[in-house]
Structure 1
Amino acid sequence: MARSDLIINLVKASVRGDVADARAVAEAIAADERSKKHSGVADRISRALDTPQPPQRNGQAHTPGIRVRDGSGGVQRSEPRRPLSSLYLDESIYKACDELIEEQRRADVLRAYGLEPRHRLLLAGPPGNGKTSLAEAIAYELALPLFTVRYDAVVTSYLGETAQRLRRLFDFVRTEPCVLFFDEFDAIGKERGDIHETGEIKRVITTLLLQIDDLPSYCVLVGATNHPELLDRATWRRFELRLSLNAPSSKQMIKYFHDQLNEFEGQPGYTAKRLCESVAPVSFSEAEAFFLDVRRRIALAQGARELRSILDDRVKAFRSHSRARIEGAIDGGKTDPSVS
């Protein structure tokens, strides 16, 4: 049976004559039934929503068909391709994610005991260490689409418009099981007590909290932030699972280099440890960028250069870029009057 709150919301929308709300709730009911493996009921609801309107008769005003308040423009839909096993994470992170995935897969068992699976996850840590990849991997393991929030399509300068677009976004998301990913979550979930923020951001956060509370458990919400200290305390408490993805250990990074080297043909002339120490990446994203660069050079060489030569060349280039970036940061700090 559908959730009682959805049925009540459907009745309220019908009584008000709000056809847009009625369709949004009906689609949410269909998604809820589909998440419970009640495909027959979900399909019947979908077919009922697609029923064509009768023609106008006897001069009666034609009632417009039910139209959903489409918030699809606020998200970018993608099909995940990265399995959880491809990530290099601490064992505790793997275990926590495995438990979340199991709860979602066996939600019917939990509901038989009056329980709901956890579906709100916050990922915190420095950039480049797998927060976005982990959100994609969770969607992959659950065989769900990944909806990434587009802030440029949600946040506006008009008073009240951001909150309205946020509500439309969540209305759209509820229509099917999915993983909803908020990257840089602190951009929209900032502390309301910040004296530098306007009243508008406080209204947005209040709307966000209400929408998160009302998000059904078949929609998995993943928020990622590099600055967890900036999050509103009430927002922080909404997440049932909070994980820290810190900078990789030397053991994890060497394992990554070892696996990458094994994919190449030819003699690299480096051990995984030596190459890792030569490149000295500070995050997985930097290490991934290095190996992508190597693959580009291999493809363009078309066998004319040995793997060892290409690796030597790319190590020098990577060191040069890293040094330039560091020197640029130092020079910027010297010229910044706020730095003493």
Structure 2
Amino acid sequence: VRYDALIGSYLGETNARLRKLFDYVRTTPSVLFFDEFDAIGKERGDTHETGEIKRVVSFLLMQLDQLPSYVIVVAATNHGELLDRAVWRRFQMRLAFPAPKKNEIVVFWYRIISAWPDAPKMALGRLASRLGNVSYAEALDFCQNVRRRQILGLGEVSVDEALRAELDLWTSRVTPEIINAERSDKTPPETDAER
């Protein structure tokens, strides 16, 4: 479900679009996938939300209850704490995907970096410690940024230089307190001399 086509700015527009969506999926066996489900399944008791989102959530719950058995609804969110309690009851199965551990990120990076023409000198375990807790998507994005920086350097930028530049950029975006709080091991930050 594309939210840009579903959520409207006018009163009642989102519910009208939801009705069309659910009317359509009732006509044929289908799988209805909502990514970032918290966009329309938010807690109705949230004092910061308008009355419109409360009506949308109530309407969504009614529509989910009326779906035939040949329609499967799958919803994904990174913010389960934001979902309305009644939304949780509409799903028979709940799966949680915890953040990967440091060693899992290292294995993931190894698979990516092993295809590169040259590998960075920094140990992947040390790199994982430097970045703190990251998702697979963030780990992939970091690797792609390093490789992109190296390729765009047109032979003037080594993989180690690209890695250092991306690490500097990463640590400038994330405050040191957050990185230190998320580290499972208390490895002190790498100094310039250790690079």
Instruction: Report deviation, 1:320.
Output: 3.2
Q: 1:211 and 2:63 equivalent?
A: yes
**1:246 partner SS:** coil
Q: Alpha-carbon deviation of 1:219? A: 4.0
* 1:70-95, Cα deviation, whole Å (9 max, x unpaired): xxxxxxxxxxxxxxxxxxxxxxxxxx
Native 8 Å contact 1:184 1:223 kept in 2: yes
Partner of 2:186: none
Q: Is 2:21 aligned against 1:169?
A: yes
Alignment-mate amino acid for residue 241 of structure 1: M
- After TM superposition, give the deviation of residue 310 of structure 1 in Å: 2.7
Aligned to 2:124: 272
Counterpart secondary structure, 1:273: helix
1:230 to 75, 82, 85: 82
Contact 2:8–2:14, Cα closer than 8 Å, also in 1: yes
The 1:291–1:281 alpha-carbon spacing in structure 2 relative to 1, beyond 3 Å, is farther
Tell me which residue corresponds to 2:189.
Answer: none
Check conservation: 1:163, 1:204, Cα contact below 8 A. yes
**Counterpart for residue 220 of structure 1:** 72
Q: Which residue number in structure 2 is paired with residue 308 of structure 1?
A: 160
The alignment's C-alpha RMSD in Å is: 3.1
- Structure 2 unaligned spans of 5+: 179-195
Q: Partners in 2 of 1:311 and 1:194 — Cα distance?
A: 42
Counterparts in 2 of 1:322 and 1:214: CA distance versus 1, 3 Å = same
The separation in 2 between residues aligned to 1:311 and 1:286, in whole angstroms, is: 15
Q: 1:254 aligns with which of 96, 99, 106?
A: 106
1:156 is matched with which residue?
Answer: 8
Corresponding residue SS for 2:58: helix
Equivalent AA in structure 2 for residue 211 of structure 1: Q
Q: 1:290 and 1:159 mapped to 2: Cα distance? A: 41
Asked if the contact 1:179–1:219 (Cα under 8 Å) also holds between the matched residues in 2, the reply is yes
| Alpha-carbon shift at residue 234 of structure 1 (Å) | 2.3
Number of equivalenced pairs: 178
Contact 1:253/1:276 (<8 A) preserved: yes
Q: How does 1:36-115 map to 2 (within 5 A)?
A: none
- Three-state SS of the structure 2 residue aligned to 1:180 is strand
Say which SS state the counterpart of residue 174 (structure 2) adopts. Answer: helix
Confirm or deny that 1:288 pairs with 2:135.
Answer: no
Change (3 A) 1:321 1:230: closer
Q: For 2:32, what is the secondary structure of its paired residue? A: strand
**Cα distance in 2, alignment partners of residues 248 and 237 from structure 1:** 27
TM-score (norm 1): 0.45
Query: What is the letter of the counterpart of residue 15 of structure 2?
Result: A
How far apart, CA to CA, are the structure 1 residues paired with 2:87 and 2:129? 40
Shift of 1:262: 1.2
Structure 1: 5+ residue runs without aligned partners? 1-147, 327-340
| Letter aligned with residue 149 of structure 1 | R
Change in 2 beyond 3 A, CA 1:274/1:199 = closer
Q: Distance in 1 between matches of 2:40 and 2:105?
A: 32
1:307 and 1:177, CA in 2 relative to 1: closer, same or farther beyond 3 A? farther
One-letter amino acid matched to 2:82: L
Q: CA 1:210–1:251 in structure 2 vs 1: closer, same or farther (change >3 Å)?
A: same
Judged with a 3 Å threshold, the aligned counterparts in structure 2 of structure 1 residues 269 and 196 are, in CA distance, closer, same or farther, namely: closer
Partner Cα distance (2:84, 2:29) in 1? 27
**2:182 equivalent in structure 1:** none
